[in-house]
Amino acid sequence: MTGQKEKEPLFSTKILRLLMTPINKGNPITVLVLGVCSSLAVTAKMKPAMVMAISVIVVTGFASFIISLLRNTIPNRIRIIVQLVVVAALVILVDQVLRAYAYEVSKQLSVFVGLIITNCIIMGRIEAFALGNKPWPSFVDGIGNGIGYGLILILVAFFRELLGSGTLFGYQVIPENWYIAQGGFYENNGLMILPPMALIMVGVIIWVQRSFNKQLIEK
Amino acid sequence: MEHIVSIFVRSIFIDNMIFAFFLGMCSYIAVSKTVKTAVGLGIAVVFMLGITLPVNYLLNEYLLTPGCLAWISPDLTQVDLSFLSFIIFIAVIASITQLVEMVVEKFLPSLYSSLGIFLPLIAVNCAILGGSLFMQEREYANLGEVTAFALGSGIGWLLAIVGIAAIREKLKYSNVPAPLRGVGITFIITGLMGIVFMSFMGIKL
């Protein structure tokens, strides 16, 4: 299918490892600290976070794939510009598709769709992996990193929406009669909706992850 | 004039790039270990925002906004190039970064030795592209407003990174729980700083 010679099957253990490592031990956000930039601002609700995660998975996968195809023809001095142009073209496609089929969400995401271009995961994976590997492994590596990133995004959004608005995907989850207004005892935590809580949530996720994986602890 | 001042102050404190929009977080976390390097990167960001935003503003006004090609010929009023804005903005940013790097290397070697390593990093700093996209979305009226916004957000970013670097230098001497050391505590402190900056939110300018 791709530049792969017949030696390896399409899903060898090596390929599967490329897919699975970024999800936990090599997670782009919590371990490599890449790609925090643009997207934590979209995690106040599940729906935009989900759309953002899918967009990033698509762009990282295909950007790595295309750059890997071109890797022997790009002159080293201008490679950053070439990479940025490829990524920008992919992001334009994603943006146009979102505007056509999910206009409401694309309004909510506003500039953050465009900011996928400068998402450090994409450039990081292109520089670190796609420039030195064949197209198919690069594609899988890109998808794996996209998924690892998307998982954190969705996890943060899950807690922020549940605790901040009492809803998930816009549906009420906390029973109505628990609220103080209805004579109950519960109140939404308004602080969770505000931007700084996304950072604190990521900090807490890092804390939990590193308590389970001792080898990730920094000195 | 007051309008420009208010945009400037607003973009430093209220719409701070880091604390309100998380733009440029990657380099913010990676380069904030010492105050000295943080100042270097911060100044580079102010500088690049100050140059690229006005350029992108002019391109947006005279090339990208729907119907704005009328200044070439009346036949082109129907042309809408706005879908190209991402690719044009990022190309402008990447090429200006490269140009500035060369110019600074040639004419200001002392500045280059202090800023040099940061300049290539800047091309992929979300704060720069984010600035351009916010500029497009908020529809600033003229070049003065855009420049004020650019410098303001740059200075806001500089403040944030210098602040966190100073805190991280002191943090070396404190007893942080082992799994939180390094990145984890940095995120949480940034969050707390963000909450502090939110106290500016009530200010009406």
Q: Is B108 helix (H, G, I), strand (E, B) or coil?
A: coil
| A28-85 pLDDT tens trace | 777 777 777 666 778 888 888 898 899 999 999 999 999 999 888 888 777 778 888 8
The whole-angstrom separation of Cα B47 and Cα B147 is 11
The whole-angstrom separation of Cα A64 and Cα A142 is 6
b/e code A138-156 from CB counts within 10 Å (16+ = b): bbbbbbbbbbbbbbbbebb
CB contact under 8 A, A203 and B185: yes
Q: Is B134 helix (H, G, I), strand (E, B) or coil?
A: helix
pLDDT score, position A1? 41
Highest mean pLDDT among A135-144, A167-176, B61-70, B74-83: A135-144
| A97-109 pLDDT tens trace | 998 988 888 888 8
Taking the CA of residue A11 and the nearest CA in chain B, the distance in Å comes to 32
pLDDT score, position B166? 93
Q: Is the pLDDT of residue A5 over 60?
A: no
CB contact under 8 A, A194 and B137: no
Do B149 and B57 contact (CB within 8 A), yes or no?
Answer: no
Residues of chain B with pLDDT under 50: none
Task: Give whole-number Cα distances, B152 to B101, B121, B168, in Å.
Answer: 23, 21, 24
Residues 21-40 of A with CB under 8 A from B: 30, 33-40
Mean pLDDT score across all residues of chain A: 82
The runs of H, that is alpha helices, within chain B are: 2-9, 17-21, 25-30, 35-59, 85-107, 109-115, 119-122, 126-138, 143-171, 183-197
Residue of B25, B176, B182, B164 whose CA lies nearest to A31: B182
Bridge partners of B162, per DSSP, are none
A40 contacts in chain B (CB < 8 Å): 22, 25
Residue of A65, A78, A80 whose CA lies nearest to A127: A80
Q: Is the pLDDT of residue A214 over 60?
A: yes
A98: which residues sit within 8 A by CB, 6+ positions away? A51, A55, A105, A106, A109, A113
The whole-angstrom separation of Cα B10 and Cα A52 is 28
The whole-angstrom separation of Cα B60 and Cα B66 is 10
Do A126 and A63 contact (CB within 8 A), yes or no?
Answer: yes
Residue of B64, B60, B63, B80 whose CA lies nearest to B72: B63
Do A73 and B57 contact (CB within 8 A), yes or no?
Answer: no
Query: What would the mean pLDDT of A2-7 be, rounded to a whole number?
Result: 47
pLDDT score, position A4? 45
Q: Give the closest of B26, B181, B194 to A37, CB-based.
A: B26
| A186-198 pLDDT tens trace | 888 888 888 888 8
In this structure, the number of other CB atoms found within 10 A of the CB of residue A132 comes to 10
The whole-angstrom separation of Cα A14 and Cα A150 is 22
Do A141 and A125 contact (CB within 8 A), yes or no?
Answer: yes
Q: Is B27 helix (H, G, I), strand (E, B) or coil?
A: helix
A217 contacts in chain B (CB < 8 Å): 178-179, 181
The whole-angstrom separation of Cα B195 and Cα A164 is 16
Instruction: Tell me the residue type at B102.
Output: M
pLDDT score, position A85? 87
Q: Is the pTM of this model over 0.80?
A: yes
